[in-house]
Structure 1
Amino acid sequence: MTGIIKLIYTGTGRRKSAIARVRIKPGTGQLLINNKLGEEYLQYNPNYLKQSISPLSILGLQSKYDIYVNAYGGGLTGQAEAIKLGLARSLCLVNPDYRIPLKIEGTLKRDARIKERRKYGLRKARKAPQFSKR
């Protein structure tokens, strides 16, 4: 019986209202987000780019995997962090030994902060109408 080698690994990352479905496969280190080059989609912002591929740089695998991302919701900051989490989760599927260094660096941690809901009687979540004594 021959073993089947799985070549595509998937991971989902979320932050605020942004969701990123990340697929990686062995390749040359290309980053495609919503069928656009990663640099173009992230508006050539080096911080967003560095942050989204940080799990690969932690493990020293920058040019080993091609990354295909479907990202939607939120803004670029939320999407970049969602890509980081999805990439880290998919790398853990590639090799379970990658989990320890990624966990130490904090890339496997989900940032659960979301917008607080609006309460009745208030203008926003906590902003009250102006108080007038007389």
Structure 2
Amino acid sequence: MADQRFYATGKRKTAVARVWLKPGSGSVTINKRTIEEYIDRETSKMVIYQPLVLTGTFGKLDVTVNVLGGGGSGQAGAIRHGISKALLEFNPEFREVLKRAGFLTRDSRVKERKKYGRRSARARFQYSKR
């Protein structure tokens, strides 16, 4: 099990994260950079660490992530989703805990498209009665 890696894909908005887990010292590498170099917001770091802390594997698994698309929040959500799915590959007993926390469900909320005849997705052009 020392050289075994667990892979999963996570998605959020337009971001896609490919996640690999392997037993190790607990380092998190995102796009060949450390998490401190890649992510500057503490809330995003907290979101990424949530599944590891919840399952008690924080500091026991090395996380390698390749993420593309989206912004900071979307990428953090995609990484969390990917880590959660990879933890299931690592240990299927984590399913109940992760499912209850909502980490296994793909968040389907995406930006609504702009419609023709309108200023944006829902806002109309200003109406002038006279």
Q: 1:15: which partner in 2?
A: 12
Structure 1 unpaired stretches of 5+? none
Structure 2 unpaired stretches of 5+? none
TM-score normalised per structure 2: 0.94
TM-score normalised per structure 1: 0.91
Q: Deviations over 1:47-105 (max 9, x none)?
A: 11111021110011111111010111111111111100100000101111111111111
Q: 1:36 aligns with which of 30, 33, 37?
A: 33
Rounded Cα–Cα distance in structure 2 between residues aligned with 1:47 and 1:128 = 35
Q: How does 1:1-134 map to 2 (within 5 A)?
A: 7-43=4-40, 45-134=41-130
Q: How many aligned residue pairs are there?
A: 130
Of all paired residues, the percent bearing the same amino acid is 44
Whether the aligned pair in 1 keeps the contact of 2:3 and 2:22 (CA below 8 Å) is no
Q: Deviations over 1:7-59 (max 9, x none)?
A: 1111111111111111111111000000010111111x221111102111001
Name the aligned partner's letter for residue 65 of structure 2.
Answer: V
After TM superposition, the runs of 4+ consecutive aligned structure 1 residues lying more than 3 A away are none
- Cα RMSD after superposing both structures: 1.5
